[in-house]
Amino acid sequence: LTLTLTLTLTLGEVTYRCMGFCEKNREALDDDLNDVILTARNPLVGAAIRTTQVQANFAAGVPRPRSFSGHGPGRQEAKAHGLSVANQFKRSLRDLVVTVASTKTLYVRCIKPNPRQQPDALAAPSVLQQLRYSGMLEAVRIRQQGYSVRFAHADFAHRFGGVFPEAQDLEELLSALQKLFQASWQDWQIGRSRVFLKAPFYGKLERLARLRTRVAATRITRSYRGFRRRRGAARIQTWAR
């Protein structure tokens, strides 16, 4: 018999196994809370906290300290082995932040192609469920609604300046492109150092830039071939004379 707990969340259902749940989530109380509980007038409360500490130390293989109160060696030993889960998490997180800050971080989202982790097998429902539960679909939707494409001023002028060479500055260039595509002024914004574009508007600009590049390449190739033919004909005429 396997006991499970299923929570229905916004993104779907999440199932937890209840076996070993208490052991995995056992957390020692802070020292200040232990001190307060040990001073309780009810002897049952003090005995309960002492018993809990003894059981926790015994499970961890820690010898029984001499005392649970005061400032003696037994108290220091209890503090050393009474590190709570929250404090361990904070310490690990602090070490991780230091490590990440010293590196150039690239975040990669890993998706399992199938639950059995077999090669050459793609389970589309499982992949979609992972993307939905991890918030990737919502993040993509929010990013599409905002200014997801960003260019430095010089890079934008270099990439799309050839589409409208008559423009004198970035604002004039973007205004001309806006009229060309019948777009809204909300599709782009000019910052101090960058140009912000929405994804649909950027897609149109990119297609137009590629089209202009292909047309220009075709013209250059045609002109060069014509030049070679004319030069070859001139040489033949020179030799014939």
Give this prediction's pTM.
0.41
pLDDT at 123 (0 to 100): 92
Q: What is the pLDDT along the chain (241 residues), one digit of tens a residue?
A: 578 888 887 767 888 888 877 777 666 667 777 778 778 888 887 777 776 665 555 555 555 454 444 444 444 444 444 556 677 788 889 998 888 888 887 778 888 999 888 889 999 999 998 888 888 888 888 877 788 888 898 888 888 887 777 878 888 888 888 888 787 778 888 888 888 888 888 888 888 888 888 888 898 999 989 988 888 888 888 887 7
Tell me if 171 sits within 8 A of 162, measured CB to CB.
Answer: no
pLDDT at 101 (0 to 100): 84
Q: Which residues pair with 195 in a beta bridge?
A: 151, 190
pLDDT at 75 (0 to 100): 45
pLDDT at 122 (0 to 100): 92
pLDDT at 76 (0 to 100): 46
CA 37, distance to chain mean position in Å, is: 43
pLDDT at 80 (0 to 100): 44
Handedness of CA 109, 112, 118, 124 (dihedral sign): negative
194-197/188-190 β-pairing: antiparallel
- Please state, in angstroms and rounded to a whole number, the distance separating the CA atoms of residues 141 and 149: 14
